[in-house]
Structure 1
Amino acid sequence: MSFASKWSQPIRWLHLGLFLTITAQLFLSLVMAGPDDKHQSLLEHSTLIAHEYIGLVAAAIILAHWVYLALAERVTFEHLFPWSRAGLAGVFAEIGGLLRGRLPDDNEQAGLAGLIHGLGLLLATAMGFTGTVMYFLLQAGKMESTGYDVAVYIHGTLANLMWAYWIGHGLMAIMHQLLGHDTLRGIFRLGR
């Protein structure tokens, strides 16, 4: 049984969960007010509460993703983090192809695509961690602490990177689809 057929179903559900929760988080952040804003409207307060709870769900999905990766075959980590000589050679070869106007094949083990997904997972992990720290510090009444301020700063900075990742990733998927790859259906196909 191949890697793709053995492990694709659970990872697709995790990817869908990440896509939905991160998308919700990004758009909620455009409306919500910070917890220290004393003049929040009902909408701003409601979206803040939704952002907190959806963030906890996102953090749980991210943790499940890491557990899944730890239990799956080793090739998964090599796919997401191609730091070996051969992995980096594959990434640079694909970048060279892109510079010549050639997209990589629909190969699930492609180096550049894996690297991009790995970096996105690291970014989501850092955002989930800092958001969870912020949530529990707020619950403990430690909004005035240095730890909270540091978490807020890191979380806000990473949010800008996540917007860039989210937009860039979506545009690349659409470009692949327009160039004849069956990318979008492959992303959202959850059945066999």
Structure 2
Amino acid sequence: MTNRMHIVSDKGYHPVTRWLHAGLVLGVMFQLIGALLMAHPDHADTGRNGLVMNHEAVAAEVAHSEHEANELGKFFMSAHRTGGTVVAAIVLVNLIWAVVLRGAPRKRQMSVLGSSRHWHEALSIAKNIPSMLLGRIPLPEPGNSLSLVFEMLGLLTMTTMAVSGTVIWMLWDGPGNTVSAMAETLMGVHASVAVILLLYLVGHVSMALMHAKAGDPVFNRILPKRKRSTAAQGDKL
């Protein structure tokens, strides 16, 4: 049996959904790449949370941070901060769109995470992924429970990244400055969630490519600019 979809629809997502999706993809990719190039702080508690280090230790830590924070690293640090603000705004709009404005219960929205039916169906589909990869059974139809749950979990992951990053910037003054113990803890959380987000992106793109190979015009449905020949078929939420 080949990985051919039973029902292939070229009906595009709502324009708001498509543009928000594009913004998230580009923004998150920029943030992940920038995180590898930016200047990273050395960790030391400066007393912001009530614990004061030895003054000589703090001075040495700051000097080392200033040395490591080269101009290119500072640039990407600033870009990461600005990019994080933009991505946080997109995530906020996406959350509002997902929770409030998407209409019918069957559409993609945050409520699927509280649905035992969606979770049961998602787990059933997940168990069959190896067989799908081997081409033994067809891929599930678009809008299945696994894709809905996976999308909303990804959105929550991005929200965690945005919130933790915002709090870190409130606690840390940037390159050349040491960080408090709380900021250091949040940086650890931020980095761990970034790994989860990277795995999510890999899985998300991999499944999209599998659907495209099986004949599902998934990219034409989700890209902001669709092919003229299919655009007239209408959009869905």
TM-score tier after normalising by the smaller chain length? 0.7 to 0.9
Structure 1 or 2, whichever has the larger Rg, is 2
**1:164 and 2:170 matched:** no
The residue aligned with 2:129 is 98
Matches within 5 A, 1:26-175: 26-36=32-42, 37-38=65-66, 39-72=68-101, 73=103, 75=105, 76-77=108-109, 80-81=112-113, 83-101=114-132, 102-105=138-141, 107-108=142-143, 110-139=144-173, 144-175=179-210
Give the Cα separation in 2 of the matches to 1:67 and 1:158: 22
From the superposition, tell whether residues 43 and 78 of structure 1 become closer, same or farther in structure 2 (CA, over 3 Å): closer
**Secondary structure of 1:30's aligned partner:** helix
Give the Cα separation in 1 of the matches to 2:94 and 2:140: 25
Give the unaligned 5+ runs of structure 2: 1-10, 43-64, 133-137, 232-237
Tell me how far 1:96 sits from its aligned partner.
4.2
CA contact (8 A) 1:134 1:152 kept: yes
The residue aligned with 1:185 is 220
Give the unaligned 5+ runs of structure 1: none
Q: TM-score, normalised by structure 2?
A: 0.69
What is the total number of aligned residue pairs between the two structures? 185
Deviation readout 1:141-180 (Å, 9 max, x if unpaired): x953232122111101111111111222222212221222
Q: Which has the higher contact order (CA 8 A, sep 6+)?
A: 2
Q: TM-score, normalised by structure 1?
A: 0.84
